[in-house]
């Protein structure tokens, strides 16, 4: 019956059944078919949700929506634009940098894509960037919101794995920085090559702003920095408060949500009082969906544990190869394929309880595995054929999917695969900051 349940889970996901109903339906099926006492499993699911750490989820969701509506993204873009907007491909690099900064505020790839994308698509197109390349670039860069802390999926991973949320935040920071650099390099090379070949990149090959005297540039940068200080302080407040010990993760999330209200209402004046109700309603609805999925996954993970599913998976993998490198490659492949079918939140809820025991069994540290999961799920979200963020980027940028395929595959080959390889096989990349900042001791 457990095998039937797993097949049912995969089939329903592949058919496009909403993930929340898939998790819940499979959980009910396994409870009834395997003869487990609902009076034991159902209260168990509720008891696992009784964690103060999960309060950070709705707060970061609300903060992200307030930031999205409050004009913060536009301020960040203008600040990055003045630094990079006068070189070939610089506007694309500014878009990547804006997504990285925005990710450190919202912790959401979807919020980064919808906010930065709505601002940048028009600018990139007017600058001569092909629509397909612009949409692919922003879809890839938006995933930095999952890697640059704070990250919503890392909060869920820490809760599921019972590890330090601060350590999981730091585990994905260096991979996120590496990916930022690699995507920027791809953009610069692509636009310069396109300019030489006269491939629809405009007469200036992606140069957006006319050259100006150094003094004027410095003055403009100073003005935009002053304007952007309230927005740029937000990641400093969140991360500084967490890692200094002044704020817990939940308290930092609450501070972020509260801080963004006056920021949007009175500083940047893009947020309206009437928007607050919509933000709270949308935040509550999103949180409700996440909590139902989390509850269902707790019931499923308990069943998987009692049925010794992780041991069975480990035995199958070890029967193929006993080399940890080969097993890690198979784990990566499984996460990417699964992540192509579902969103990042659902992915981390499903992958962590099943594969973490397997990874730990071959000597992988739980914090190192957090980074592996984060990068894999990020890459899966933009990997054809069922890449959710790629299709969302196509809609926002009004770019046909077929025009996005070539630049997307280029970014996967040059950006994502090297980042994933380093993250997987160089554990120091994920463990160095937790050790340095928190004194974490790898297991």
The per-residue pLDDT of the chain, averaged, comes to: 85
Residue 163 has pLDDT above 90, yes or no: yes
pLDDT tens figures, 29-58: 888 888 887 887 778 888 888 888 888 888
Dist. CA 261–CA 276, nearest whole Å: 8
| Token pair of 407 as six digits | 């630049």
Omega within 30 of 0 (cis) for the link into 303: no
pLDDT at 53: 86
Question: Are the C-beta atoms of 380 and 347 separated by less than 8 Å?
Answer: yes
One DSSP character per residue, 257-322 reads HHHHHHIIIIIS----HHHHHHHHHHHHHHHHHHHHHHHHHHHHHHHHHHTTHHHHHHHHHHHH--
Q: Which helix (H) or strand (E) holds 14?
A: helix 2-14
pLDDT tens figures, 223-279: 888 888 888 888 888 888 888 889 888 898 899 889 999 988 998 888 888 889 998
pLDDT at 172: 95
pTM, to two decimals = 0.88
Dist. CA 396–CA 267, nearest whole Å: 27
DSSP one-letter code for 199: -
pLDDT tens figures, 91-150: 888 889 888 888 777 777 877 888 888 888 888 887 788 889 999 999 999 999 889 888
Distance of CA 207 to the CA centre of its chain: 29
């Amino acid at each position: 019956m457990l095998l039937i349940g797993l097949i049912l889970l995969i089939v329903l996901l592949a058919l496009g059944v909403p993930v929340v109903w898939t998790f819940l339906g499979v959980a009910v099926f396994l409870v009834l078919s395997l003869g487990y006492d609902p009076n034991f499993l159902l209260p168990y699911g509720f008891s696992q949700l009784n964690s103060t750490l999960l309060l950070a989820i709705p707060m970061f969701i609300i903060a992200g929506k307030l930031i999205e509506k409050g004009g913060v993204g536009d301020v960040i873009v203008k600040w990055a634009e003045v630094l990079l907007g006068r070189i070939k491909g610089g506007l694309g690099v500014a878009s990547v940098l804006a997504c990285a900064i925005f990710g450190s505020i919202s912790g959401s790839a979807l919020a980064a894509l919808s906010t930065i994308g709505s601002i940048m698509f028009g600018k990139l197109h007017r600058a001569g960037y092909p629509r397909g390349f612009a949409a692919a670039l922003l879809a890839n860069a938006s995933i930095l919101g999952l890697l640059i802390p704070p990250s919503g999926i890392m909060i869920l991973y820490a809760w599921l794995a019972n590890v330090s949320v601060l350590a999981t935040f730091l585990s994905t920071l260096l991979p996120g920085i590496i990916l930022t650099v690699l995507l920027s390099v791809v953009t610069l090379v692509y636009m310069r090559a396109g300019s030489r070949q006269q491939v629809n990149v405009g007469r200036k090959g992606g140069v957006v702003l006319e050259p100006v005297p150094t003094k004027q540039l410095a003055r403009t940068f100073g003005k935009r920095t002053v304007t952007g200080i309230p927005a740029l302080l937000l990641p400093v407040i969140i991360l500084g408060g967490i890692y200094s010990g002044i704020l817990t993760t939940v308290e930092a999330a609450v501070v972020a949500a509260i801080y963004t209200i006056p920021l949007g209402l009175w500083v940047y004046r893009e947020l309206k009082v009437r928007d607050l109700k919509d933000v709270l309603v949308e935040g509550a609805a999103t949180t409700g969906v996440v909590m139902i999925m989390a509850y269902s996954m707790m019931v499923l993970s308990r069943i998987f544990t009692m049925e010794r599913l992780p041991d069975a998976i480990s035995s199958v993998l070890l029967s193929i190869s006993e080399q940890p490198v080969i097993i890690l490659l198979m784990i990566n492949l499984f996460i990417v394929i699964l992540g192509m079918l579902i969103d990042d939140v659902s992915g981390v809820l499903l992958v962590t309880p099943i594969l973490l025991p397997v990874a730990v069994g071959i000597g992988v540290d739980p914090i190192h595995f957090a980074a592996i999961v984060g990068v894999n799920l990020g890459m899966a979200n933009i990997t054809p054929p069922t890449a959710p963020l790629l299709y969302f980027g196509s809609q926002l940028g009004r770019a046909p999917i077929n025009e996005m395929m070539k630049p997307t595959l280029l970014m996967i080959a040059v950006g994502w695969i090297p980042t994933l390889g380093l993250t997987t096989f160089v554990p120091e990349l994920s463990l160095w900051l937790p050790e340095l900042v928190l004194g974490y001791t790898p297991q």
